[in-house]
């Protein structure tokens, strides 16, 4: 009976050893889960990107951009013409100069909607304040990507919002405000 127990224990040990050895071989031939996840993330070519561009107390060409989702980045944004010159009227393109590269958004159609909506300023004459919101799509300018965004394509459906307190007397004109916040925010599908 003692021999049967020893034989059974040896058989169990042999099976356990085979499983452990097989597991080691199997583990050695498979990359760790973290490496697999990293490889998948590196191979990702697109997805949802969330964008917020904002300017505080300025009608100027210089803004700030923050992105999350498939792009996690931030940096200045500058209103420019296609030739790269600064566009103080904001009616052409917006160059996102992020920390890992850059790309441009076409903002011409969005600007036209905004100019039309702003033609009725002040929105609240008694308090000499404005709240203007327009929506539109800002496509990525083809071929504009650099760095990590080389080859980027897609678009961002966005909402542009202006909230401001104008200077008195209440006559809207560029720069004639006491406080102002302009935001452009939305989410879009992009590929690169």
| DSSP β-bridge partners for residue 113 | none
Residue 22 or 187, more confident: 187
Phi, psi of 87 (to 5 degrees): -110, 95
Region label for 47, one of left (φ > 0), alpha (ψ between -120 and 50) or beta (otherwise): left
Confidence class for position 171, pLDDT limits 50, 70, 90: confident
Residue 139 has pLDDT above 60, yes or no: yes
Neighbouring CB atoms inside 10 A of 90's CB total 22
């Amino acid at each position: 009976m003692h021999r049967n127990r020893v034989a059974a224990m040896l058989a169990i040990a042999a099976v356990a050893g085979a499983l452990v050895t097989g597991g080691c071989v199997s583990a050695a031939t498979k990359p760790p889960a973290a490496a697999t996840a990293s490889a998948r993330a590196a191979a990702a070519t697109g997805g949802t990107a969330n964008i917020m561009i904002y300017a505080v107390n300025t009608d100027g060409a210089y803004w700030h951009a923050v992105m999350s989702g498939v792009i996690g980045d931030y940096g200045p944004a500058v209103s420019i013409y296609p030739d790269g010159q600064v566009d103080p009227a904001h009616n052409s393109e917006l160059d996102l100069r992020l920390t890992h590269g850059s790309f441009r958004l076409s903002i011409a159609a969005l600007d036209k909607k905004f100019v039309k909506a702003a033609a009725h300023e002040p929105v609240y004459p008694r308090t000499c304040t404005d709240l203007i919101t327009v929506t539109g799509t800002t496509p990525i300018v083809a071929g504009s990507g650099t760095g990590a965004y080389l080859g980027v394509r897609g678009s961002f459906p966005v909402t542009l919002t202006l909230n401001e307190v104008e200077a008195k007397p209440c006559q809207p004109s560029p720069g004639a405000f006491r406080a102002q916040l302009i935001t452009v925010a939305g989410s879009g599908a992009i590929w690169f």
